[in-house]
Amino acid sequence: MWECPDCGRAFANTNQTHACGPLDLEHHFRGRPPEIRALFDLVCDRVRSIGPVRVLPEKTRIALHARMSFAAFVPRRTWLDGHLVLARQVADARFRKVEVYSPRNVLHGFRLLDPKDVDEQFAAYVGEAYQVGLQHHR
């Protein structure tokens, strides 16, 4: 693990490119309805039920980080956009975009509109992504 000497963020790779910044989580939720924050908190609760996670507010997104970032979110006015990094490609209608970066590094983009979207299947995908974040898939 490498830690940025300026912002203290931990990375799996030395000198990984990132933007240091004193952003807080509330920065991303200003002007958003409380339901969007509640939706984000619901996903975070699911992750925390699996294991420890760092919530990293960044300039353009909020990342969830174990040994590496495995999920990211962008709060919008009436929904929560995000992606999970899985070690396989999944064909599921809930994923709006799938980008294969390598055979075991596949980004799955989604949009959450309602707490019902964070169902057991979504929670299972979050669990898979968490394992990728721990780099157990390597």
Using one digit for the tens of pLDDT, what is the confidence trace for 63-104? 999 988 999 999 999 999 999 999 999 999 999 999 999 988
Domains of the chain plus CATH, in order, are 23-133 (3.30.1460)
Q: Roughly how many angstroms between the first and final C-alpha of the chain, as a whole number?
A: 15
Q: Could you tell me the pTM of the whole model?
A: 0.84
Mean pLDDT of 8-24: 67
Angle at 97 between CA 119 and CA 17, to 5 degrees: 105
pLDDT at 62: 94
Measure the CA–CA gap between 120 and 115, rounded to whole angstroms. Answer: 11
For residue 135 the two structure tokens come to 């780099």
The answer to whether residue 54 scores a pLDDT higher than 80 is yes
Mean pLDDT of 6-21: 67
